[in-house]
Amino acid sequence: MSVRQISVFLENKPGTLAQLTDALAAAGVNMRALSLAETNDFGIARIIADDTVAAMTVLRDAGMIATLTPVLAYAIPNEAGGLNKLLAVFNDAGVNIVYMYSCLSARDNSEAVMIFRTADPEASEAALAARGLLSISQEEL
């Protein structure tokens, strides 16, 4: 079960990230996870929101370019080696990670949540489930 990530393309200049967060805050949309990547000319904000539909509507109404991308979320223990153990299962399953980032767990403060973009989320999730890994749903985040 993949999670819906919102990717927003932002011009790389002062204030554009604040415009994004202003729009979401005014609409009462909570960001569960956020990652920001940049180049010289633009940035990409990757967001997991508590209400994806509302977030997409608000962002598009604000004139921002936003797309949805399926990503996978997995909990790891908040301890040394937790990520390494998870990545070993990815490696064993032959899953290639395009990018990843983390967020806090809403379920339990003894764990963190890693968000993964893979080339084929459905096949990746099936391969990982066959090795005993269960992904986290959008609602659990």
What does pLDDT average to in each consecutive run of 10 residues of the chain (141 residues)? 93 91 97 89 93 97 96 91 93 94 79 92 92 88 82
- Position 118 scores a pLDDT of 95
Instruction: Return the exposure string of 47-79: e unless at least 16 CB atoms fall within 10 Å of the residue's CB, then b.
Output: bbbeebeebbebbeebebebeeeebbbbbbeee
- Position 111 scores a pLDDT of 85
Looking at domain 71-129, its CATH class is alpha beta
- Give the domain ranges of the chain: 3-69, 71-129
The CATH superfamily label for domain 3-69 reads: VC0802-like (3.30.2130.10)
